[in-house]
Homo-oligomer: A and B are copies of this chain.
C-alpha cells in the first residue's frame, strides 16, 4: 500500500459520514483495504445514489453503523451478501431512499440551503419510514403537497478518477455526480489512475470535465484503482471477480478469507 493511500485514510475518523459513488461512476476500490486496516468505525455511508462492492465490504468488516441508499447490490453478480446479512441480523440501520432524493439532499448542500423539494415519494413506505424527511405545502399552489429532503453534508467524499494534475484538479468527465459529492462534502479524497503534468484547467476541452482543486483535499495514485469495477474510458468491470466475491462472502468466514487474501495480494 502506498504512503499516499495511507495518508488519505488517516483523514477518516470514527463516526464520520462518507459519500461513495455508484458502481459505474468511479468507485475507489483501492482505498477499501487501507480503510478497513485503518479501522475507523461507526461510519455512516451515503451511497450516491446506490452502493455495491465497497459498501458490502465495509459492512462486512464491521465499520458501518448506518447506510443511506437507494439500493445496494453487486449488479450482475447478484445481491450484496454482507449488506443483506447485516440487515437480517439488525446490525446496521438502513435509511432507504430513492435516487433523486439523494441527489436532492446533496444539491441542497451544494447550494448552501437547508433542503430541496422533490416530486414522487408521497404514498411510499420509503417516505413513511423517513422521519428525517418532511412533506410541506407548495407555497405557489393550493392543495399541492411535496416532499422536502434535508441537505446531505458528508464529512468525506471518496472516489476514483482517470487523472489529476499537479495542482490537484481532477478529471471526472461526464460523471458529474462526483462533482456533486465533492461540492456537498467537507473534504474530498480521490484516487486516480495517473497524475498528468499539464494543467487540466489550461485547456477548455479538458476543463469542461474537471473538478477544481478547490474541492479536493488529497489525491493518491492507484492504477486500476476501481478494480474489480470498471472505469469509463479506461477498463471494463471484472464481473468474474464480482461473482467470485459474491460466492465467497455468502458467509462471514468466506468473506474474511476473501478479504485476507486481498490484503495479502
Contact = CB atoms under 8 A, between A and B. Distances in A.
A37 interface: no
B174 A208 contact: yes
A102 to B, nearest CB: 13
Interface stretch (A54-62, A63-71, A134-142): A134-142
A232 interface: yes
A106 to B, nearest CB: 12
Contacts of A146: 113-114
Interface in A147-165: 148, 150
Q: How many copies does the complex hold?
A: 2
A208 B117 contact: no
Contact of A134 (B107, B117, B140): B140
A204 interface: yes
A112 interface: yes
A205 B204 contact: no
A154 B224 CA distance: 44
A116 interface: yes
Contacts of A150: 140
A209 interface: yes
Contact of A207 (B118, B119, B173, B204): B173
A9 to B, nearest CB: 29
Interface string A103-139: 0100100011111111100000000000000101011
A232 B150 CA distance: 37
A90 interface: no
A251 interface: no
A204 B140 contact: no
Given A204-B232, A209-B208, A119 B115 contact: no
A203 to B, nearest CB: 9
A111 B107 CA distance: 11
A141 B114 contact: yes
Contacts of A210: 174
A206 interface: yes
B115 A114 contact: no
A109 to B, nearest CB: 12
A117 B116 contact: yes
Interface of A: 100, 104, 107, 111-119, 134, 136, 138-141, 144, 146, 148, 150, 172-174, 204-210, 232-233
